[in-house]
Every structure is written in C-alpha cells, then in structure tokens.
Amino acid sequence: MKKIYLIGIGPGSPDYLTVQAINTMKKVDVFFFLEKEGQKDLLKIRQEILEKYLEKGSYLIVTAKIPTRKRRKLYTEEVEIWRQQKAEVIFELIRDKMEDDEIASFLVWGDPSLYDGQIEILQQIHKEGKVDFEYEVIPGITSIQVLTAKHKIPLNRIGETIVITTGRKLKEYPPDEVVNTVVLLDNYSTFRRFKDEDIDIYWGGYLGTEDEILLSGKLKDIIEEIKKIRRESKNKKGWLMDTYILRRKEHLEK
C-alpha cells in the first residue's frame, strides 16, 4: 500500500528538523514539492534540507504547481475552494507519481497542525477512497517556538491565557483583549490597530533562515521601523513570513 508522511520541517533552517523527521525522511522514496507562485525560495530550502540529510540518488523529487488562491467575498468559501483545487493536485500526485509499495512525503513548513491545511486535505482524499493509501504526521518546530527562543522570552506567563491567531482575526479583537497574543499570517500589518496602546511587540521575519530579522520593544516606539522593514523585505524577496507576539506588562502587575 502507498504511504504518505506529512513531515514538519520547522521554519527554514535545516537545524530545526527533529531526529524523528530526519529518520522518517530516510524512508521516503518520493518527495512531493508543492510550488506556490513567487515562492521559489521555499522550494530551494526544502532541496537544501534533503541534500544535507539524505544520500544523493536515494530519493526522487516531483514538483507540482498549486493554484493561487483567489480573493472572494467570503473568506471561508475562498479557502474551501482553494483547498479543493489543491486537493486535486495532491490526489493526482499520489495516484500517478508513486508506486503501490512506495513511500512519499510532503515537507510541511513549521508544523502540519498549525495553519497549514494538508492534514485536512489528506483526510478528505483518504475518505473519498479514490486512491488507496495510509498516512502519518510527523510534528515539527513552529515559528512560535523559534520566535520566543530568539527573543529569550517564555511563551506563557503565570495564570495567563495564550491566544494564537492570525492577522485577519486580530482585526476583530478589542484592544483590551490583547494581553498575550501570538499572531501569524498577518498580511495586513494588523498590529497598527494597537499603536496607541501600552503594548510590547516581539517580532520576527524569515525566522530560521539566513534572512532572519528580529525586533522588539514598545509597539508605539518601533512600529514605523517594523512597517519599513516589512515593506522593504516584500519588495526585495517578493514574500514575507513574519510572526509576532503582542504582550501587555500590566498582567504581571496585578
């Protein structure tokens, strides 16, 4: 039977792979690379990971382009349609690009369980039963873990809730509810909503890569610097992955 591994590879550096991830990669016959428009750097990093840990000639790489997500009025509809299109590409890879007794893998940025979608996509393909396969998920280090390590801060504080959300959802949060909030996938620079609040920000761009950028301080003091860096980075590379934490000190004073 065909077998698929979703392997979390961390946020960019080969050093962030777990021993479990490396050992699993050594079993794989075919690696499926999903190419997003304008993000060839991410394919290059995956290639470098394979070259570092695997013997040359011991595996095959198959690259397939996935459609660009089209903006729609309803976000949930937009994502559902895009995931269905992506599922068709993945289904065809499993059906046509591996033999019945082979093992294949998708190298997932960060961890497969956090804002990725490939677990749900594989579940749906498996449920439809059009192709016979089994799958396993190998966890990876997230950008959140790298961010807190680089800034030398704990993720949690005593007796406090941690909120992990996206820039799109952060738009809906009242300022007084932002106490210890981790934000991913923020294409909108939503932190601007809180520029007048007494909030610290711990920001990281391209975490785990050679282009890594770190900034921290009072949001009101460094917000213009972050906006400038985000703008210049996107213009230079064509893409930006950033993660940040918004945190109030007042919690510790109660």
The pLDDT value given to residue 71 = 75
Q: Are 86 and 122 in contact (CB under 8 A)?
A: no
Considering the chain, what percentage of its residues have pLDDT values greater than 70? 97
Sites in the chain below the pLDDT cut of 50:
253-254
Nearest by Cα to 229 from 178, 191, 175, 173? 191
Per-residue pLDDT, 69: 79
pLDDT tens digits for range 2-38 = 999 999 999 989 999 999 999 999 999 999 999 987 6
How much is the mean pLDDT over the chain? 93
Nearest to 128 by CA among 97, 100, 95: 95
Residue type, 101: D
Residue 251's pLDDT is 57
Token representation of residue 26: 């050594």
Question: Residue 57 — φ and ψ, nearest 5°?
Answer: 85, 0
What tokens appear for 250 in the block? Answer: 């007042």
Residue whose C-alpha is closest to residue 4's, from 62, 66, 82: 62
Backbone angles phi, psi at 2, to 5 degrees: -70, 145
Query: What pLDDT sits at residue 76?
Result: 81
Q: Within 10 Å of residue 184's Cβ, how many Cβ atoms?
A: 20
Sheet of 213-218, strand order: 163-166, 180-184, 242-247, 200-205, 213-218
pTM for the whole thing?
0.91
The confidence score (pLDDT) of residue 250 equals 64
Report d(CA 48, CA 247) in Å as an integer. Answer: 35
Taken in order 36, 42, 44, 50, the sign of the CA dihedral is: negative
- For residues 144 and 207, the answer to whether their CB atoms sit within 8 Å is no
Quote the CA–CA distance of 223 and 242 in Å, as a whole number.
14
Given the DSSP bridges, would you call strands 242-247 and 2-8 parallel, antiparallel or unpaired? Answer: unpaired
